[in-house]
Amino acid sequence: MPKVYINDHEFEASEKDTVLTAVQKFGGYIPTLCYMNLKDINIENKPSSCRVCMVEIEGRRTLAPACTTPVFEGMKVKTHSRMAVEARRTAVQLLLSDHPQDCLKCPKNGDCELQKIASELNIVNNPYLGKTSNYDLDISAAIIRDPNKCIMCRRCETMCNEFQTVGVLSAIDRGFGAVVKPSFDMPLEETTCTFCGQCVAVCPTGALVERSYIDEVWKELENEEKHVVVQTAPAVRVALAEEFGYEPGTISTGKLVGALKLMGFDKVFDTNFGADLTIMEEATEFKERLENGGFLPMLTSCCPGWVKFIEHQFPDGSLSNMVDRID
Ligand code: SF4
Ligand code: SF4
Ligand code: FES
């Protein structure tokens, strides 16, 4: 077990620790942007590209990125030396030098990791001004891509390629023109994207955001001539509870229905009933296939993204034949 010194405090790290993980276990803080470690699903992204985690290590000529530098016996780390903090400020200023300064109308305002780090580092001016990117927005039914806000952290690419195995997003071009996009610069809607939203969930900036229909909904709710109904999917009652700080898995059906009624919906329907009917239909089809020598195994999902995944990724029919489609 290597003994390290974090800001002069002795700490026993593990052989596998990087400076970042050792400092986190010690209870310290080093800002990160490109680094992502989703332990539950065993996904790690550490391209070491943002350089906002720079630290000073005694005896080393240059600063080191904490996220990829392994610890060693006797290592002496300064997480907040003047030189390290100045390097972080410079890294963030350089990122901001090619970033639209439109926080007030950005969908990620208040929930943006770049904004948070810029604020932590007290960045109120930027000496690095010059050429800026000018990409078109890619607006699909579910996701809005704004490559002008991409900081090349590659988290989305890791999720799309390694976790979802869809492979829609990757870094293209070099130098100033480098950006993460679908191949041939295609709009997302023309790719094999399943709109799972995993890339949106991990993007630290407003480069990938969910398309919001909130204004349209409020407009209809205010229309007294209109009878407005809402139908919620089974997962929403759990996801919403988690968003409001309840234990993962907490069911918030009552609160959800109450809130929707307060907002002004005339009727609230639950997809659970439809889901039950789907399961009955699937069971019937499975029984029929089993009894009559049909194609097995039978794969089934009511998620259109999942069906799209099978159709695009296994177009030869090897898996498509197994799919039970209820449109
Ligand atoms: S789109 Fe978002 S997640 Fe993907 S590389 Fe750019 S900033 Fe990172
Ligand atoms: S939404 Fe599309 S681009 Fe994003 S991770 Fe899912 S499949 Fe990939
Ligand atoms: S978080 Fe370490 S280089 Fe980006």
Helix (H, G, I), strand (E, B) or coil at 209: strand
CB 197 within 8 A of CB 188: no
Q: Is the peptide bond before 147 cis (omega within 30 degrees of 0)?
A: no
Q: Is the CB of 32 under 6 A from ligand 3?
A: yes
Residue with tokens 């391209």: 47
pLDDT digits (tens, 9 = 90+) for 290-306: 999 988 888 888 788 88
Residues pairing with 270 in the sheet: 232
Do residues 105 and 170 both lie within one domain? no
Residues near ligand 2 with C-beta < 6 Å? 159-160, 164, 166, 168-169, 193-199
From ligand 1's centre to the CA of 34, what distance in Å? 9
pLDDT at residue 321, rounded to an integer: 60
According to DSSP, the β-strands at 43-45 and 3-6 are unpaired
Do residues 9 and 123 both lie within one domain? yes
DSSP per-residue letters across 15-73: TT-BHHHHHHHHT-----SS-EEEGGGTEEE----S-TTEEEETT-SS-EETTTPBP-T
Count of domains observed in the chain: 4
Do residues 265 and 283 both lie within one domain? no
Give me the mean pLDDT over the 41-61 stretch.
96
Range of 242's domain? 224-271
Do residues 290 and 244 both lie within one domain? no
How far apart (Å, rounded) are the C-alpha atoms in residues 250 and 238? Answer: 6
How far apart (Å, rounded) are the C-alpha atoms in residues 25 and 30? Answer: 12
- Given the cut 0.90, state whether the ipTM is greater than it: yes
Name the burial class of residue 34, with classes exposed (0-12), middle (13-18) and buried (19+) by CB atoms within 10 angstroms of its CB.
buried
Shortest-distance Cα residue to atom 2 of ligand 1: 203
- Write the DSSP symbol of residue 123: -
pLDDT digits (tens, 9 = 90+) for 165-220: 999 999 998 899 999 999 899 999 999 999 999 999 999 999 999 999 999 999 99
Burial 193-232 (b: 16+ CB within 10 A, else e): bbbbebbbebbbbbbbbeeeeeeeeeeebeeeeeeeebeb
Shortest-distance Cα residue to atom 7 of ligand 1: 150
Q: Could you tell me the pLDDT band of residue 325, with boundaries at 50, 70 and 90?
A: low
CB 324 within 8 A of CB 310: no
Q: Is residue 202 part of a domain?
A: yes
Do residues 4 and 113 both lie within one domain? yes
pLDDT digits (tens, 9 = 90+) for 139-168: 999 999 999 999 999 999 999 999 999 999
Helix, strand, coil shares, percent, the chain, to 5 = 40, 15, 45
Q: Is residue 217 part of a domain?
A: no
Do residues 120 and 150 both lie within one domain? no
Q: Is residue 219 part of a domain?
A: no
Name the burial class of residue 314, with classes exposed (0-12), middle (13-18) and buried (19+) by CB atoms within 10 angstroms of its CB.
middle
- The last residue of a domain, from among 132, 155, 172: 132
Do residues 5 and 124 both lie within one domain? yes
Q: Is residue 218 part of a domain?
A: no
Do residues 63 and 127 both lie within one domain? yes
The most distant pair of C-alpha atoms in the chain lies apart, rounded to whole Å, by 74
Looking up residue 101, the CATH number of its domain turns out to be: 3.10.20.740
